[in-house]
Amino acid sequence: MLRFFSRRLAGAIVILLVISAVTFFLFYAVPRDPAMLACGKNCTPDALEVIRKNMGIDKPIPVQYWEFMSGIVTGRDFAQGACPAPCFGYSFANSDPVWDTILDRFPTTVSLSIGGAVVFLFIGLGAGMIAAWKRGTLADKVFSTASLVLSSMQIYFVGPLVMALFVFNLGLLDQPKYVPLSEDPAAWFMGLLIPWLVIQIIFTANYTRLARSSMIEQLAEDHVRTARAKGMSGKFVFFRYAWRGSLIPIVTIFGVDLGSLLGGAMITEWTFSLPGLGKLAVESVQKTDLPMVMGVMLFSATFIVLFNVLVDAAYAFIDPRVRLA
């Protein structure tokens, strides 16, 4: 177990290093000088020098990369103030600390992802299991067809449609917005309801199809058949044996989905203008805000890598046959 984790984590760190290097060096290839832009109209060579220094871009690029990466571990000192570890520097665009900004935006993305995930897991798995249970009946067909059509929808299409209907025509809901859960739970819930429902439409379908097929497969497995043959009730077998076995592929997909959602659901956040990581990423890219892009890129990648490891670990708990090696 320990060996498994240490090996996977070492691999994850290598991956993150490569991603950071690629991002850093590619962005420096852009022929735009962030110091020049920050310097404004009444710029002098002296002022430019000060700004370059403040931004930490007065040194050769590999040195800058080294300073940036070591800053994540040890922290750095900037003119804007000390930057404790993990230090991703200060934004070029508005001199905010990158790490604080990410932490500030992250709750929005977490609320969006977790809330959406809860909705799509419940509906998706529920519908999938009913379809498998009632295989071949009308309910099965309805669920399967619906999941097929819904999975073909796009957030940038459904989002505006749902808004037009519920917000502007019927006036049932308010425009989506993010209110911290700690501030006002009711407003938090109402503000994110539409995004959750829209994200859900797109994801649920995958889980319905997946749950249905893996459930059907499990029901055909030997140990399940044996259990049945021994005279256990259908329901008992369904929930005790088949259900457990069908979790493996679902956990895989769910881990990957959640990891990438937590890294920023760009299109969803953009569609509903929710101030999460995804929106931050798009904005920072538009402004060539390198520290911010780096920060978000590494943060997102960390989640993807981390959840991949977790998924593998989860196998072992669900299915004792799987050994971690």
| Residue 318 within binding range of another protein, rule CB under 8 A | no
Amino acid at 104: D
123-131, 233-241, 266-274, 316-324 -> range binding another protein (CB under 8 A): 266-274
Residue 73 phi/psi, 5-degree rounding, is -90, -45
Site for another protein in 200-229 (CB under 8 A): 202-203, 206, 209-210, 213-214, 216-217, 220
Q: How many residues bind another protein (CB under 8 A)?
A: 103
Which segments of 96-154 does DSSP mark as H helices, in order?
A: 98-133, 138-151
**Closer by beta carbon to another protein, 70 or else 154:** 154
Pair of tokens at residue 35: 């110091």
Euclidean distance between CA atoms 313 and 317, whole angstroms: 7
Q: How far, CA to CA in Å, does 159 sit from each of 129, 149, 155, 195, 230?
A: 27, 16, 5, 8, 50
**Closer by beta carbon to another protein, 141 or else 240:** 141
| Residue 182 within binding range of another protein, rule CB under 8 A | no
**Closer by beta carbon to another protein, 78 or else 316:** 78
Assess contact for 198 and 162: CB atoms under 8 A.
yes
Assess contact for 278 and 300: CB atoms under 8 A.
no
Out of 52, 102, 300, 315, the only residue in the binding site for another protein (CB under 8 A) is 300
Per-residue contact flags (x/-) with another protein for residues 135 to 154, judged by CB under 8 A: -------------xx-xxxx
Euclidean distance between CA atoms 310 and 244, whole angstroms: 18
| Residue 98 within binding range of another protein, rule CB under 8 A | no
Q: Which residues contact 225 (CB under 8 A, 6 or more apart)?
A: none
Assess contact for 299 and 310: CB atoms under 8 A.
no
Out of 110, 282, 316, 318, the only residue in the binding site for another protein (CB under 8 A) is 282
| Residue 175 within binding range of another protein, rule CB under 8 A | yes
Pair of tokens at residue 147: 């999941």
Site for another protein in 15-34 (CB under 8 A): 15-16, 18-19, 23, 26-27, 29-32
Q: Report in angstroms how near the CB of residue 71 gets to another protein at its nearest.
A: 18
**Closer by beta carbon to another protein, 148 or else 233:** 148
56-64, 67-75, 235-243, 261-269 -> range binding another protein (CB under 8 A): 261-269
Amino acid at 146: A
Per-residue contact flags (x/-) with another protein for residues 48 to 87, judged by CB under 8 A: --xx--x------------------------xxx------
Assess contact for 241 and 222: CB atoms under 8 A.
no
Pair of tokens at residue 224: 């399940």
| Residue 319 within binding range of another protein, rule CB under 8 A | no
Residue 314 phi/psi, 5-degree rounding, is -65, -30
**Closer by beta carbon to another protein, 153 or else 232:** 153
Q: Report in angstroms how near the CB of residue 171 gets to another protein at its nearest.
A: 7
- The residue ranges of DSSP E strands in the chain, in sequence order, are 76-78, 81-83
Pair of tokens at residue 198: 């829209």
Which residue's entry shows tokens 């009444």? 42
Q: Report in angstroms how near the CB of residue 197 gets to another protein at its nearest.
A: 13
